[in-house]
Structure 1
Amino acid sequence: MYQDPGFLKGLTGEVVTVKDSVYDEARQEWNRAINKFPLVIVYCERKKDVVNAICWARKHHVSIRIRSGGHHYEGYSTGDLVLVIDISRLNELKLDKQRNMLKIEAGAKNTEVYDLIGSNGYVFPGGTCPTVGVSGFTLGGGWGFSSRLYGLGCDSLIELELVDYQGRLIRANKYCNSDLFWACGGAGGGNFGVIVSMTFQLPEPTNCPVTLVRFYYVGTTSEKQAQVMNVWQNWLPGLDKRMTIVVSFYNAEGEGLGIFATGFFYGSSARAREILQPFAEVEGFRVELETSSFLEAVKKVEETYPPSEKFKSTGRFVQRRYSPSELKHIADLVQEPAAGSVYAAVSFYAMGGEIRCVGKRETAFFYRDARYIMGIQSVWTEDSAAEENREWVRGRFEYIKSITEGSYVNFPINKLRNYECEYFGENAKRLDKVNKKYDPYNVFRFPQGLR
């Protein structure tokens, strides 16, 4: 195939195949536990490169994957013997201060957006990891440390441009191709076509300080983990919407059991301390509060992320309170990590606030009324430990699934039965209709894609 000099004819941008010295690095995802071997990787630098890649893939009957930041938990932005359309170099940003709007090309990453808007006095309800692609984050809904105050990532989206299966550029907003725009507010990742630009309505510039909240406990046991989980579920319903945090109940190599929380409070450290008082009543509580600009707070969070990891991770939506025995069972999930695990955790991501103010059917993101997301993960370093760690997560996921309702598509898990309903709830049927309209030949198919 590669010996045919005409095989790659029609592709533009930087084209990478297995013959190229950069192939091994180019095929990597952020999750280095994903080990796939694409046929061709195309780094698109213009919208025309995307059009050409789609037309080439259809001509040669090659499956397409779409990659922005390469952070898909299960690696669905790559695959074996596929064409990877990598849009990471389509990353131009335009800030309209007159209308408080931001237009980005769809390859832009969190850190690039934060640098621009933060240096101009704005905030942006993006994700936490600096190298996550904003488009992938947004198209799956998008949870971050500003979500309870400013909504999910998709709630700020006001327009997008997409290249469809025929290579046509389609504009979508509330008034034009509104069904496609609706679908991309929670179910757009990998479906319908290749997003090439997005426009966001930013909150008004504000001088409000951002307090970076971090707390932890000295001397943790499984009983204390369950106790803090109970504090969490009693505290969250009345939480000031200016605070969004995630609490992790973990078991780390060399450290053992622990509890750690981090997030943002849009206000003073004194008020943040008052809000956290219920946690302070559990013995061993320690808190660190640092007030700064939004951009400075974001940078401190970004510093905590490694350049890559090997992991299995997923998340479900919590709709109710749990009994003491259920909380104990949740805490017990991390008492015995898999062999080779360096970090295993159950994490609670706060929802509510402005997330709940949008109706379940106003966007494709259905689980608006969830109290929080419960995630489970395991991280390892040696390839020999991969399968055992994956099975560890999968086995414990079955219990979490039994006490929750719906899976978060940005925290996906493979082999999920009836995945369209699990990810999109009662919006699944409408999404299938939208998909048939905009991708009638299922050109943009991938594991767990809309069918």
Structure 2
Amino acid sequence: MASRSRAHTALAALREDLAGEVFAPGDPGYDDARAVFNAAIDRHPAVIAQCADVTDAVRAVRFARELDLRIAVRGGGHGVDGAAVADGALVVDLRRMHGVTVDPSAEAVRVEGGATMSRLDRATQPYGLATTGARASTTGVGGFVLGGGTGWLDRAFGLAVDNLIAVELVTADAERVHANADENPELFWALHGGGGNFGIATALTLELHELPEFSVARLLCLPEYGPDVVRAFREIIRNGPDEVGGAVLYLTGPPAESVPLCGALLTYVGGETGLRKLAEPLLALPHERDVVTTLPYADAQCMLDPPSGLRSHWSAECLSDLPDALVDVFCARGDTMPVPGDSRHVLYPLGGAIAAGPGEYPAPYRSAPWTVHPVAFWPDPADDEPNRAWVRSACADVRPWSTGDVHLNSIGDEGPERVRAGLGAGNLLRLEKVKRAYDPDNVFRFNHNIKPV
């Protein structure tokens, strides 16, 4: 009875102190506040603190520690495992903290922890500047960057985490900490791929690059031409400059309807004329439609935005090469995508500035030249197992060519060995020591967890 009274008093104080809003079970708005991107996930936190500023985040952590509650951190975007919301935990929801401040003279940007890629890109675009973002505008910047971060600009500008200048963090002890190359350098190193294990990232400062023009070439083909599309795309990447990137993918849903189509998306840090020349081998293939154009980078970020309100599952495998035999395997699995739904079987290149980037960070996948990323979306719970099985099969198909590494942002909860593969076995003990220093009680555990050594 005493503990219930203490919890009631603490919750009342939190409601009073927070500039943002607090939701508990039974409150109006609680169900909306706990809903996550993946409709297959239905979790019930003890308390949700929608923080308006960093002071709110500090107060929320103190509340959780007082009541011995575990803490889940919700940034601005989406994750397949819904780790941002946990049963019986306090959720520190940063989505109200979405400010973006550009310093064009320093070619840097400060991004609050709840901002999405769309907010970041639209803030930097008027200055002709950009940094490596995700392949969807709805991705949260914080989790994306701290998990490594690959996207349309990575071959030109490196992984998102390669552009990280500083992080502002609230620790498990409710302390505000600043990390950069000179201040708390060991923590700063761990944040280059270690994700949300070390605290609540309330703001990140990122390096910007000049991006005066950005162009895309998109085409859709019937599935029988898929192998030709993938091989043509492969050769463009192999022989082209680092400024060219993109993806090939099979997709269902509109405009594919009930039959998967094969698509190619070629991206270019430059103008339409240069891209047209690069894209000639693709455009020469039989196809149903094509678009080649220069457009604002922030608009390009929306091209593969995931559908909302559906059940979802995805995974990934990093590849050592892309031989013809693997092309055939990839395309054959693309032909078996479950319908109905809005799924994608994606193959995207790495290399370029990613491979040339700093090798000391816990991002072992940077040496892989290609990644396969099967993504399933579907509406009906009765179709859960067929869709999840298709994702598992798509990864199993390409495993003979796998490097063994994985980009943790591209998978859900697949067990501790996959976490080790995403961080690098040689980095794990060092990461565990940093975890012990900043979160010895493993308060932040609803992620690809690093346990304190």
Taking structure 1 as the reference length, the TM-score comes to 0.90
CA distance 1:2–1:314, change in 2 (3 Å): farther
Q: Distance in 1 between matches of 2:430 and 2:73?
A: 23
Q: Distance in 2 between matches of 1:165 and 1:394?
A: 35
CA distance 1:234–1:254, change in 2 (3 Å): same
CA distance 1:84–1:111, change in 2 (3 Å): same
CA distance 1:427–1:111, change in 2 (3 Å): same
Answer whether contact 1:237 1:371 (CA < 8 A) is retained: no
- The code of the aligned residue for 2:318 comes to F
Q: Which residue of 2 aligns with 1:42?
A: 49
Which runs of structure 2 are paired with 1:342-381 in the superposition (5 Å)?
A: 342-361=341-360, 363-381=361-379
Compute the displacement of 1:430 (Å): 2.3
Q: Distance in 2 between matches of 1:296 and 1:53?
A: 36
SS in 1 for 2:408: coil
Instruction: Decide which of 105, 114, 127 is 1:120's aligned counterpart.
Output: 127
Compute the displacement of 1:32 (Å): 1.9
Structure 2 stretches lacking a partner, 5+ long: none
CA distance 1:312–1:82, change in 2 (3 Å): same
Which runs of structure 2 are paired with 1:8-27 in the superposition (5 Å)?
A: 8-11=11-14, 12=18, 13-27=20-34
CA RMSD for the aligned pairs?
2.3
Q: Distance in 1 between matches of 2:368 and 2:21?
A: 43
SS in 2 for 1:349: strand
Matched, 1:265 2:268: yes
Answer whether contact 2:322 2:370 (CA < 8 A) is retained: no
Instruction: Decide which of 303, 323, 338 is 1:301's aligned counterpart.
Output: 303
Answer whether contact 2:247 2:346 (CA < 8 A) is retained: yes
- The code of the aligned residue for 1:301 comes to M
Matched, 1:384 2:388: no
Q: Distance in 2 between matches of 1:337 and 1:249?
A: 8
Q: Distance in 2 between matches of 1:94 and 1:187?
A: 25
Q: Which residue of 2 aligns with 1:239?
A: 240
Compute the displacement of 1:7 (Å): 4.6
Answer whether contact 1:33 1:310 (CA < 8 A) is retained: yes
Compute the displacement of 1:172 (Å): 0.5
Q: Which residue of 1 aligns with 2:214?
A: 210
CA distance 1:265–1:396, change in 2 (3 Å): closer
Q: Distance in 1 between matches of 2:120 and 2:374?
A: 28
Q: Which residue of 2 aligns with 1:334?
A: 334
Structure 1 stretches lacking a partner, 5+ long: none
SS in 2 for 1:126: coil
Answer whether contact 1:280 1:286 (CA < 8 A) is retained: no
Of stretches 255-264 and 158-167 in structure 1, the one that deviates more from structure 2 is 255-264
Compute the displacement of 1:348 (Å): 1.0
Compute the displacement of 1:148 (Å): 1.2
Compute the displacement of 1:87 (Å): 0.8
- The code of the aligned residue for 1:289 comes to V
Q: Which residue of 1 aligns with 2:417?
A: 418
Of Structure 1 and Structure 2, which has the larger fraction of its residues in helix?
Answer: 2
Which runs of structure 2 are paired with 1:19-98 in the superposition (5 Å)?
A: 19-98=26-105
Answer whether contact 1:343 1:379 (CA < 8 A) is retained: yes
Instruction: Decide which of 165, 179, 193 is 1:172's aligned counterpart.
Output: 179
Answer whether contact 1:359 1:368 (CA < 8 A) is retained: no
Q: Which residue of 2 aligns with 1:439?
A: 439
- The code of the aligned residue for 1:169 comes to R
- The code of the aligned residue for 1:364 comes to P
Compute the displacement of 1:343 (Å): 3.4
- The code of the aligned residue for 2:303 comes to V
Of stretches 9-18 and 67-76 in structure 1, the one that deviates more from structure 2 is 9-18
Compute the displacement of 1:81 (Å): 1.4
Offset from partner CA, 1:297-323 (integer Å, 9 cap, x none): 44x637x55444321111121112334
- Give the aligned length: 440
CA distance 1:439–1:32, change in 2 (3 Å): same
Compute the displacement of 1:258 (Å): 1.2
Q: Which residue of 1 aligns with 2:278?
A: 275
Matched, 1:140 2:168: no
Compute the displacement of 1:125 (Å): 2.0
Q: Distance in 1 between matches of 2:258 and 2:375?
A: 17
Q: Distance in 2 between matches of 1:112 and 1:24?
A: 26
Q: Distance in 2 between matches of 1:323 and 1:294?
A: 32
Offset from partner CA, 1:135-166 (integer Å, 9 cap, x none): 11111111121111111211211011111111
